[in-house]
Structure 1
Amino acid sequence: MINLPLPRSLPRRALAATLIGALLSACSTLPAYQRPSADIPAQYAGAVHTGAVQASDTPGWAQAAPADSTPRGPWWTIFNDPVLNELEARIDVSNQTVRKAVAQVQQARSMVDYQRAGFFPTITAGVAQDRYRTSQNVEGKSLAGKTVPDYSAGVSASWEPDLFGRVRDSVTGAQADAQASEADLEGVRLSMSADLAADYFSLRSLDTQKKLLDDSVNAYAAALKLLQQQLSNGAIDASAVAQATTQLEATRTQDTDIDVTRAQLQHAIATLIGEPASTFTLPPNGTAVTPPAIPIGVPSQLLERRPDIAAAERRVASANAQIGVAHAAFFPDLVLSASAGLESTFFAPWLSAPSLFWSLGPQLAGTLFDGGKRKATLHGATAQYDGAVADYRQSVLVAFQQVEDNLSALHSLADEAASQQRATTAADLSLRLTTNRFNAGAVSYLDVVTAQTIALTNQRIADQIAARQLESSVLLLKALGGTWGAEGEGAAGAI
């Protein structure tokens, strides 16, 4: 060990105080943090009935760590729709809600830098010039009754060693808050992209129904024209024409109503991608979309995938750090300060050595009595921690509820779709048979109208069930955290 001589200008007591402060800066009153426990089922109850693939090579429970800012990945590509992919790519660039969340992340990160600045000394400098006069009636002052100019310039520095971890705990809390904001950002991205996908598939469903109604209107108009000709020839009575006219106009009304709903969905999509509704158009596409099979993993992965769960867990960590800050308030503060400068009554000798002044010294101060303020702050921080734990566990419960809700919905909708397909097939067959019988003169046109109405209604119901299946698939992917593999692939761009 090499012994270095101490400078004579530095008092040994001051050096000892500095060294003790440096050693004590390693202390911390931060309680040891452990992630809150949460009850995790061994498997999803609804996965058994939906045909959704659940990972078999991963145990039902694993100690999952929330992935605070892990990008969710382009989960929408599982639907294999190029138009949807293009629209989703605009969310991260133009959606104003996402941009606000990005700004909130940047604000939280700046707070980390602000708290970290507490580790370093504060240095100030200033220059001043003033004139003052002391009352002439004040005894015992050599400057009584005189006007004195004063020129001064100086530098001062102060540093508070982090003896009991107050600054360190504040930094830890700010870092956890920043990570929570990053998870919030991913949650906003996930929510906006899911809303866009749901609106898009609803619009696609309306396009399918619109095509069906357009075809029906054309067919009904052709049938009405034929009936009107038959009426003029005296082959039928006017009731058949009236029935055909009623059916045609009612179908046209339904067709027009779809235009209203489609326009509203198109405007909603425009807002989501950050474009004025008046300048955005989405061409009709009546092609049916088949819901994909979604591998859903194991329940414990939900803790890693869900950004809202990750954000809730990080806020628990932040609340835990605030307990440490509240504990540190019970201990004294050590402040090391120094100042030096020049001061003179006359400007000419201002820069000379005799004008020099300086001061150096530590100050140790602690609160002896505050009426219970610090104790109340500690109790408040502990209560805030308990509340954050409850929020975390509630987030986990809600997440599993949403997964099970959509798994159950997909299961029921699959049964509905199969049953409705049988009904639609039967209705189409009934329509063909009834039309043939009408052409043969065996039944009236009212029977044809009834069969056509039943066939159209059943086809629309089938299309609506398919739309609900797509919506439930989107909501399931959202509930699973926006991904279906062990990790997100093709992650979205970071901030």
Structure 2
Amino acid sequence: MKISHTALAISLTLLLGGCMVGPDYHRPQAPVPTQYKELSGWMQAAPSDEAPKGDWWTTFNDPLLDQLEPQVSVSNQTVRQAYANYQEALADVKVARASLFPTIGLSGSGTKQRTTSSSASLNPDFHPVSTSGSAEGNISWAPDLWGKVRRTIEENKATAQADQATLANATLSEQTALATAVIELRVTDANTDLLQKTVDAYTEYLRVVENQGTAGTTPPSDVITARTQLENAKASLIALGVARAQYEHAIAVLVGKNPEELDIPHSTTLPTLPDVPVGVPSTLLQRRPDITVAERQMAAQNAAVGVAISAYYPSISLSAADGFSQSPLAGLLHLANHIWSVGADVDETVFDFGARHGEVAAAKAAYEAAVANYRGTVLTAFQNVEDDFSGLRILAQQADVLDAAVKDSTQGAQIALNEYQAGTVDYTTAATAQATQLSTEESALSVKQQRLLDTVSLIGDLGGGWSADQLGDSKQADKQANAEH
């Protein structure tokens, strides 16, 4: 089969010498500041090399977070969907890569046939039977002279990496959603404790007022005011049960469970507010998976331009067959029965009324849109981080003021009650002081909640310890797949 081998050798030489049409990919510049605006002149307490790697939630020192967060990457349905999409993209890369190589096949046939002849007139019972057969191997190949297949592989690899980053982004998003729900649940429990303490205090206030009303030293309106104040506090306490139940249900779904499968006991301890190492702004391009998604989509669109341009050039396909054919079947593999064939096809579109030009223009426009999306994603990422920094900075100042306000309002409420019991002020003054104390304590708790939520948001906006260096590393994905099955 010397001719077939020669043809394949020539084709291989053409392939190796072939070019790849279309633009080679170079990542466009993106707007990156030299430092974060909110951190100007401020030195971090924690060095950036101590940033959380993977299990970032452990810095909050909350047992519920430590228990549930690892389940997100295994059981969360959004994450599992993203994982399946990533596996599909990897399969598409394999399909595209296979087009670089020849397609090899084997075929065989056998036929047994009874025929008539002149001998049948002499002997009607005589009907000769003949047997024939063939065995053949064939090979076909379309050499990638202009790089269409290689550009397609490049496009599919970039798409697969975008899907891998999408998986990381989905995991991080669901993890931060779980942390947010847990914080909301813990704050609801803290609010419950606060309102229960308030109900107990208002109950005692009502007892004092009722005693004075019975003694005739206070008007009935004071008793009604004290009772109304207590009833409103009880109603607010009951209402917290709705929010807590909803947070608990949300937590269950985030870890892939039905709501009835998860029962979270009441806790009086809020998560710890951690220090979050930041690093320089330029590292954000590597640490945020959504930026990597946009960058890899941009690379895929760049390769798609090359695929579209390759349509201007002719396509060549080669084929060869080699085998044996014999009738009768005996001696099929004898050299005299050897058959072979070699062929080549060339296909070129001469005129298509601008279809190829339109496809190239569309591919270039899609690439420009991907560039704009990438740069917009980068800008939004820096906005997110700056928002988190400003929130944490301002809330820290507010927390200091509110801590002082809580002490003052608590002292004021006690003084007002004492003055009321002494008969120097009316109950409206005491009731107002009590309401102010409750409102101030609720505001202080709300600020603690928002500081925790902004910290979770900051960790997520900084990438949660992820890095684009992990692209192409299937160890984590394989670990997840094994855990799922």
Same fold (TM over 0.5): yes
**Structure 2 partner of 1:294:** 276
CA displacement 1:104-125 (0-9 Å, x = unmatched) = 1101100110101011111234
Displacement, 1:486?
A: 12
Residue 193 of structure 1 pairs with residue 185 of structure 2:
no
- Give the distance between the partners of 1:484 and 1:20, measured in 2 at CA: 43
Answer with 401-410 or 372-381: which moved more: 372-381
Residue 45 of structure 1 pairs with residue 42 of structure 2:
no
Letter in 2 for 1:275: K
Answer with 213-222 or 479-488: which moved more: 479-488
**Structure 1 partner of 2:356:** 374
**Structure 1 partner of 2:245:** 263
**Structure 2 partner of 1:325:** 307
- Give the distance between the partners of 1:287 and 1:227, measured in 2 at CA: 34
| 3-state SS, counterpart of residue 138 of structure 2 | strand
CA displacement 1:24-67 (0-9 Å, x = unmatched) = 34x2224222111011111111124887559699xxxxxxxxxx
Alignment of 1:47-446 (within 5 A): 47-48=39-40, 52=44, 73-126=54-107, 154-340=136-322, 357-446=339-428
**Structure 2 partner of 1:138:** none
- Give the distance between the partners of 1:463 and 1:401, measured in 2 at CA: 27
Displacement, 1:17?
A: 3.3
Displacement, 1:367?
A: 2.4
| 3-state SS, counterpart of residue 74 of structure 2 | helix
Residue 34 of structure 1 pairs with residue 26 of structure 2:
yes
How has the CA–CA distance of structure 1 residues 167 and 394 changed in structure 2, closer, same or farther, with 3 Å as cutoff?
A: same
| 3-state SS, counterpart of residue 24 of structure 2 | coil
Letter in 1 for 2:10: A
| 3-state SS, counterpart of residue 409 of structure 1 | helix
Structure 2 residues without counterparts, runs of 5 or longer: 113-129, 478-485
- Give the distance between the partners of 1:430 and 1:92, measured in 2 at CA: 50
Q: Could you tell me whether the CA contact under 8 Å between 1:296 and 1:484 is conserved in 2?
A: no
How has the CA–CA distance of structure 1 residues 452 and 108 changed in structure 2, closer, same or farther, with 3 Å as cutoff?
A: same
How has the CA–CA distance of structure 1 residues 470 and 15 changed in structure 2, closer, same or farther, with 3 Å as cutoff?
A: closer
Displacement, 1:10?
A: 2.9
Letter in 1 for 2:17: L
Letter in 1 for 2:382: F
- Give the distance between the partners of 1:372 and 1:130, measured in 2 at CA: 51
Answer with 83-92 or 439-448: which moved more: 439-448
How has the CA–CA distance of structure 1 residues 225 and 153 changed in structure 2, closer, same or farther, with 3 Å as cutoff?
A: farther
Letter in 2 for 1:272: L
- Give the distance between the partners of 2:53 and 2:367, measured in 1 at CA: 28
**Structure 1 partner of 2:125:** none
| 3-state SS, counterpart of residue 168 of structure 1 | helix
Answer with 284-293 or 80-89: which moved more: 284-293
Q: How many residues align?
A: 457
Q: Could you tell me whether the CA contact under 8 Å between 2:288 and 2:466 is conserved in 1?
A: no
Letter in 1 for 2:91: S
Letter in 1 for 2:316: L
Displacement, 1:341?
A: 5.2
Letter in 2 for 1:43: Q
| 3-state SS, counterpart of residue 156 of structure 1 | strand
How has the CA–CA distance of structure 1 residues 452 and 120 changed in structure 2, closer, same or farther, with 3 Å as cutoff?
A: same
How has the CA–CA distance of structure 1 residues 213 and 117 changed in structure 2, closer, same or farther, with 3 Å as cutoff?
A: same
Displacement, 1:235?
A: 4.2
How has the CA–CA distance of structure 1 residues 112 and 347 changed in structure 2, closer, same or farther, with 3 Å as cutoff?
A: same
Displacement, 1:152?
A: 6.2
Structure 1 residues without counterparts, runs of 5 or longer: 1-6, 58-70, 132-147
CA displacement 1:228-252 (0-9 Å, x = unmatched) = 3443344433222211110110001
Displacement, 1:371?
A: 2.2
Q: Could you tell me whether the CA contact under 8 Å between 1:50 and 1:410 is conserved in 2?
A: no
Q: Could you tell me whether the CA contact under 8 Å between 2:53 and 2:466 is conserved in 1?
A: no
CA displacement 1:454-490 (0-9 Å, x = unmatched) = 10111001101110111111111111111399999xx
- Give the distance between the partners of 1:49 and 1:421, measured in 2 at CA: 26
- Give the distance between the partners of 1:373 and 1:287, measured in 2 at CA: 66
Displacement, 1:307?
A: 0.3
Displacement, 1:209?
A: 1.0
How has the CA–CA distance of structure 1 residues 409 and 51 changed in structure 2, closer, same or farther, with 3 Å as cutoff?
A: farther
Letter in 2 for 1:243: T
Answer with 291-300 or 391-400: which moved more: 291-300
CA displacement 1:256-282 (0-9 Å, x = unmatched) = 111111111111111111111122121
Letter in 2 for 1:44: Y
CA displacement 1:118-175 (0-9 Å, x = unmatched) = 11111234456899xxxxxxxxxxxxxxxx9997664432011221211111111111
Letter in 2 for 1:192: E
How has the CA–CA distance of structure 1 residues 492 and 385 changed in structure 2, closer, same or farther, with 3 Å as cutoff?
A: closer
- Give the distance between the partners of 1:211 and 1:426, measured in 2 at CA: 20
Q: Could you tell me whether the CA contact under 8 Å between 2:321 and 2:340 is conserved in 1?
A: yes
How has the CA–CA distance of structure 1 residues 341 and 19 changed in structure 2, closer, same or farther, with 3 Å as cutoff?
A: closer
Letter in 2 for 1:259: G
**Structure 2 partner of 1:475:** 457
Structure number with the higher helix fraction is 2
**Structure 2 partner of 1:21:** 14
TM-score by length of 2: 0.85
Q: Could you tell me whether the CA contact under 8 Å between 1:399 and 1:479 is conserved in 2?
A: yes
How has the CA–CA distance of structure 1 residues 292 and 346 changed in structure 2, closer, same or farther, with 3 Å as cutoff?
A: same
Letter in 1 for 2:290: D
CA displacement 1:262-308 (0-9 Å, x = unmatched) = 11111111111111112212111122444222221111011010101
Indicate the RMSD between aligned Cα atoms, in angstroms: 3.2
- Give the distance between the partners of 2:416 and 2:469, measured in 1 at CA: 56
- Give the distance between the partners of 2:43 and 2:440, measured in 1 at CA: 26
